[in-house]
Structure formats: structure tokens, C-alpha cells
Amino acid sequence: MAYPSYFGPRAAASPYWNPYFETLPRAELDRLHLRRLQQLVRYAWTYSPFYRARLEAAGVGPDAIRSLDDYKQRMPIIDKTDFLVLQEERPPYGQTGAVPEEWIAHHCETSGTTGVPLRIPLTLYDTERYGEGWCYGWWAVGIRPGDSFYFAFNWGLFAGFWSAYWAVRRFGGKVVSGGGQTSEGHIRMIRRLRPTVLLATPTYVLYLAEVARGMGIDPASLGVRFIYTAGEPGPNAVPAMREQMERAWGARANELLGVAELHAYAPGCPTGEGVHVDESGTFAWVRDPATGREVAEGEVGETIVTSYTNLAQPLLNYRTHDLVRPYYACRCGRTGLFYQGVVLGRTDFMVCVRGTNVYQAAVENVLGRVAGLSSHYELVLTRERGLDQMTVRAEPQPEVPAAEYAALAARTARAIQEALKVRLAVTLVPPGTLPRYELKTRRIIDQRPKEVRYALERQ
């Protein structure tokens, strides 16, 4: 007798992981958000000493939120620094926790790329809901139960790929853990076990391809059909990176935008042109970081996110410092908020060079189009005579002779000026000299004086 199929025929044929939520009209989504945010404010007021104090200080009672505008404007904006200070005062979670210790099922931490790691407590139910964010993106690009997911990731405390692990269990896929492997070990394991989905940071996906070639193995021969990245700008943010990834591995690439302490909150889009917010798990809006006012559709601003999926340490109106360009419609048919180009930069790393705002992703997109450049680069920020300066340090492809570096650097600078209307200094360094990272690649080297940098960097 045949074993039953994983889903019934109607669910299996669905183009959406959750057809109800992914096609809900904006007005209905907004009505639902308002009711849920009202509950969340009451929850935070009741169970989190931190939020009760913040709300009282702001004159906002537990029943004060009457509209989404009320929520956006009256609910205090929370920043990571607030939590870091409280956690340091009274470890492990200070007054930021909202559940008794016995409810905490998993302790994670942020990667600490901005300084001190933030501690993230999660209940079991939180992990289920957090993981589900990924499922929306995977289903949208054609990944299905029966696919096997290779984690090129060494686990530890970092929430990012733990959430993908929770997601694979939720989704119905097979987990293949690459924990503890060297890069060569990952390639050997992928060759032996033939996983169909590769999960890693985007730069590590490209580095693994290099490693495979160094071992005499064509990465496209390894059977990987899908690449899903997170943690830094990936294929939906940087088309040139998509091209390199898909060509190298012979696989379809997509990416998820998440914030470790919040949620895997924007799980991709089948168009590959951006990411949709998972509005079942989060409420997000976009504001001008200077004025605090919501930006219009299509304008760049900072995304402020509230998570419904982390109730052990609630995060309401939380600053992500990610600059995005929001839209309320997408040609894929999903109605969830869409961030075209994913993250365009960071409020803390957006630099104004001679009157022009320069975003990391914009520079990266130009670099990806310059023939002869590799995907390895750094942006060095300095402050000269009171003005921000940005220098590009990049590696050429190994086959470019050193004698051609100067011409290639000049060509790169011209391409940046033509595309971004700003002149940046470009320095080329020999292949293999910039550091490689397994987790988050450090693209920005901020050498500006401490007082002009983001608060966490100053600590």
C-alpha cells in the first residue's frame, strides 16, 4: 500500500504557503493589525516591567491605542541600546522579559556585529512562530516538503539559522546539519548527501563555490536546486550577486530579511526583486529617521517593526536601522508590505558624501556590474574636514594582471560616479587579501571619530 502524500492535493497545489494571509487586502490587514497591536500593548503593559515603565513615562495607558496612527506615533520607539543597558544591569534579561523563567525554551543572542550581543529568550511557541516566517518564502519559490536543507552554519547562539531550523521542522523538510565542518568539509558533505537547498549567508555561498572549484569540483554538479540566504545583502538586494550565485551553483537563489531579536520577518519574494513582510508574524511601517514621520510609498525610510512572535521578550515599535523602500503591491500577487531591493542601507552607515546619500547596497550593485571585479570588497568610512568620505577597497578577479589594477580602479570609480552621482576613491587589493567570513561579512569599516558613529559602536 502506498504511503500517503505529505499534504492533500488541494494544499499541495496552493501557490501560497498561507493563501488567506498572503492575499488579504490592505484594509483588512490593517484592521487585524490594530486589534492585535491593542492586545500586544496590553500584554506588554501587564507582563513586562520595561514596557510598563516606558508606557507610563509616555502617558500611554494599556487601552490608549485607537488607530494604527496612534500606535505609530504614541507608542514609544524602542532601540536595541535600551535592552542592552537593562540586560547588563540585571542579567540575563533585565526587565525586558515578560515570561517566568520556566517558560523559556531557547536562549539565543545577536551576532554582536554592532558591539555587545543582545540576549534573546524565546518560549517554545515563540520558536514555532518565528520559524514559520521562512516557510512563506520557501513555498513561494517552489521548495516543498521532501526537499533537504543543508545548514552551512556552525549553530552557536546566533538566532538567524536556528530560526531556519525551526522552520524546516515546521515546513516538513529534512534537516542536514553542517555544524562543525570546515568549508572543504561542507563541500564533501554536500557531495555525499546531495541536499537540494543550501542555507548560508550570501558571501559564504559564493565562498563555498570558490572552495569547491579549488577542490576540483564544479559546484553546479552537486545537486543544489535552491539557495536561500540571510544575514546580509543577498540575491534580492544585489542582482549581480544573484547572477554569480545562480551561475556558480546552477540553483535558484532568494533571500530572507530577518532581525535576530524580532523575527524572520520578510521571507522573500518569487520575483527576486525584494522581500515581502510576513504580516502574520509582524507589523511593520517605514519612517523618515530624521522626522519620525511615516514615509510615502516608494520613498526610502527606516523600517520599524513589531513582532507578534517573540512574547518572551516583546519588541514593539522596534528600530531596525534598516533603510528600505516600501510598496503596498507586487506583481507576484502578495499583498504583504514589499521592500523593493530589500535593505538599501543602514541609518548608522548611510553616509552623506558631498551632499549625496550613499547606501551600501547601491555601491555593491555597481561593483557587481564592473567586469574584472570579484565579490570581495570593503567600504571604508572616514571623516575629513567635517565631511564623511567613503573609499572602496576591492579585490579584482584572480585572472586580472596587477598591471591592469589602476585602469580597473579608474573604471570602477567612473561606474560609481555615473550610477550614483558621487565620486568615491577606489583602491584595489590583491585577490585573497580581504578577510572571509562564515557568518556576517564586515563590509563597512568605520574609521570615523566615535562621536559621529552609531551609539552601539561607540561603546
Partner 1 sequence: MNREQVLACIAQARALIRAVQAETDNPAIAQCLRFADQNLHWAQWNLGAVEALLPELEPAQQGPGW
Residues that bind partner 1 (CB under 8 A): 18, 20-21, 24, 28, 32, 35-36, 38-40, 42-43, 62, 124-125, 128-129, 132, 280, 308, 311
Is 372 within 8 Å of 397 (Cβ atoms)? yes
Which C-beta is closer to partner 1: that of 3 or that of 20? Answer: 20
Residue 311 CB, nearest distance to partner 1 (Å)? 6
Is 364 within 8 Å of 417 (Cβ atoms)? no
At 54, the amino acid letter reads R
Q: Which three cell numbers stand for residue 86?
A: 537593562
Residue 35 CB, nearest distance to partner 1 (Å)? 5
What are the C-alpha distances in Å from 77 to residues 43, 218, 262, 297? 17, 49, 14, 21
Which C-beta is closer to partner 1: that of 135 or that of 456? Answer: 135
Which C-beta is closer to partner 1: that of 25 or that of 180? Answer: 25
Query: What is d(CA 245, CA 239) in angstroms, rounded to the nearest whole number?
Result: 10
At 309, the amino acid letter reads T
Residue 83 CB, nearest distance to partner 1 (Å)? 20
Which C-beta is closer to partner 1: that of 38 or that of 357? Answer: 38
Q: Which three cell numbers stand for residue 378?
A: 570593503
Which C-beta is closer to partner 1: that of 97 or that of 178? Answer: 97
Residue 278 CB, nearest distance to partner 1 (Å)? 10
Residue 280 CB, nearest distance to partner 1 (Å)? 6
Q: For the sheet containing 444-446, what is the strand order?
A: 425-428, 387-396, 373-384, 444-446
Query: What is d(CA 197, CA 82) in angstroms, rounded to the nearest whole number?
Result: 37
Residue 258 CB, nearest distance to partner 1 (Å)? 19
What are the C-alpha distances in Å from 440 to residues 238, 246, 254? 16, 20, 17
Phi and psi torsions of 175, nearest 5°: -90, 130
Query: What is d(CA 70, CA 32) in angstroms, rounded to the nearest whole number?
Result: 15
Element (H, E) at 84: helix 80-89
Residue 23 CB, nearest distance to partner 1 (Å)? 12
Which C-beta is closer to partner 1: that of 63 or that of 88? Answer: 63
DSSP string, 162-188: HHHHHHHHHHT-EEEE-TT--HHHHHH
CB count in 10 Å sphere of residue 215: 13
Residue 283 CB, nearest distance to partner 1 (Å)? 12
Which C-beta is closer to partner 1: that of 313 or that of 412? Answer: 313
Query: What is d(CA 236, CA 357) in angstroms, rounded to the nearest whole number?
Result: 21
- Which SS3 state, helix, strand or coil, does residue 335 take? coil
Residue 32 CB, nearest distance to partner 1 (Å)? 5
Which C-beta is closer to partner 1: that of 132 or that of 255? Answer: 132
Which C-beta is closer to partner 1: that of 18 or that of 73? Answer: 18
